[in-house]
């Protein structure tokens, strides 16, 4: 099966099963990557990080002390855009000699970030240790095909999270909150809400921007590149 076809099948399967218990471990992984996006942007802007948490209910947050308005703006954008960036890096590195190190490096990063900003006695640490154990098992099995499938599933899972969560939990939730279509309780303090406070641009608009950037980045990196290669082949 061609790689693009596998990507598409995995993506559809994840979308269909997204709200089932079977996808729970992948969703927790994608939430961790989302929070890592905030951490990464905080470090890039020189801002202080005071904590990172993820929970079994698939929520999470990063607390930081932005240096200025621009730092706060970039950190707020770091979650969803970081998820897409990490996903693309994972899927691109799968086709290189570094593919055998991807899962192990992710496990080390999870543990390092958790030790630094979350503490030992937390669900964040528990998940990091479980993921590290999973990585060790994958290396012990030492099956190249299994390793490739795991990399593709977690990579496409992060893409699915960015698209699904942006559309449902950002755009649709914000529209519902603005027009009071359904009674769902108070609006949670999401990244989009934070950006709306910083820029005075509606939260739903930021959701649309994230969704468009995510879709364009995924298409350009994973699909357009393959199509260009195919058009470059000539038959004589």
Find the distance separating the first CA and the last CA of the chain, reported in whole Å: 27
pLDDT band at 19; cut points 50, 70, 90: confident
The Cα–Cα gap between 213 and 84 comes to 9
pLDDT tens across 48-64, in order?
999 999 999 988 999 99
pLDDT tens across 111-131, in order?
999 999 998 889 999 999 999
pLDDT tens across 163-222, in order?
887 777 777 776 766 666 555 555 567 788 888 899 998 888 888 888 888 888 777 766
User: Is the pLDDT at 105 greater than 80, yes or no?
Assistant: yes
Q: How far is CA 214 from CA 15, 81, 82, 132, 222, in A?
A: 16, 7, 10, 28, 12
Q: What is the DSSP string of 76-121?
A: HHHHHHHHHHHHHHHHHHTTSGGGGGHHHHHHHHHHHHHHHHT-SS
Phi (first) and psi of residue 60, to 5 degrees:
-175, 165
What pLDDT is attached to residue 178? 64
What pLDDT is attached to residue 236? 40
What pLDDT is attached to residue 220? 73
């Amino acid at each position: 099966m061609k790689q693009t076809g596998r990507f598409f099948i995995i993506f559809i399967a994840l979308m269909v099963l997204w709200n089932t218990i079977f996808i729970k471990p992948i969703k927790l992984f994608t939430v961790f990557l989302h929070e890592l996006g905030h951490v990464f942007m905080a470090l890039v802007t020189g801002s202080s990080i005071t904590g990172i948490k993820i929970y079994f209910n698939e929520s999470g947050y990063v607390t930081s002390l932005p240096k200025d308005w621009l730092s706060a703006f970039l950190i707020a954008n770091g979650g969803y855009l970081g998820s897409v960036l990490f996903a693309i890096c994972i899927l691109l590195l799968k086709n290189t000699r570094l593919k055998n190190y991807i899962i192990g490096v992710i496990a080390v990063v999870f543990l390092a970030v958790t030790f630094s900003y979350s503490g030992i006695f937390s669900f964040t640490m528990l998940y990091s240790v479980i993921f590290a154990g999973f990585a060790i098992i994958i290396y012990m099995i030492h099956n190249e095909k299994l390793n490739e499938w795991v990399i593709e599933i977690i990579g496409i899972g992060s893409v699915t999270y960015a698209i699904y969560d942006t559309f449902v939990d950002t755009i649709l939730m914000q529209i519902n909150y603005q027009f009071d279509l359904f009674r769902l309780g108070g609006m949670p303090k999401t990244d989009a809400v934070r950006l709306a406070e910083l820029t005075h641009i509606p939260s739903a608009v930021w959701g649309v921007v994230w969704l468009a950037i995510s879709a364009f980045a995924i298409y350009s990196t994973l699909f357009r590149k393959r199509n260009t290669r195919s058009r470059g082949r000539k038959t004589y």
